[in-house]
Amino acid sequence: MKSVYRGGAVALLQCLMVLSVAGKYALDRERLPRVWVQAAPVDPNLPLRGRYLRLHLQGRLEPAAFFIPEHAADPSRRAPGEELWVECSVPEKGSPRPIRLAVKKEGVLTPLELR
């Protein structure tokens, strides 16, 4: 019987660890400043990590990875005159955390719905 309790305690501890990370990121999205930054895609697909965009953010920010759904259209392929932008939360230390993508055309930012 003791091993069942120990197994349950380990499972509960692992769930709490995952929930604490999710809670930290949710809190950071509310607390940290957000900025829109022009982005240039670097690598749209890597078989080992799934579909994502490796974004080179303009300015002093570091590169960031933005994961996209498997069946969504590739947002890095833009028509002439369109620019890819990303909204990021910026922590004091570490790389920026992308929140959502947008397209800027004729001075208007339009957020993308990636589903």
Cα of 45 vs its chain's centroid, Å: 15
Are 23 and 78 in the same domain? no
- Provide the percentage of residues in the chain whose pLDDT is more than 70: 90
**58 pLDDT higher than 70:** yes
pLDDT digits 0-9 by tens, 69-102: 888 888 888 889 999 999 988 888 888 888 899 9
Q: Residue 59 sits in which domain range? A: 33-111
Are 26 and 43 in the same domain? no
Mean pLDDT of 22-36: 90
Sorted by sequence, the CB contacts under 8 Å of residue 86 that are 6+ apart come out as 36, 37, 39, 55, 57, 64, 66, 98, 99, 100, 101, 102
pLDDT of residue 1: 62
Are 22 and 11 in the same domain? yes
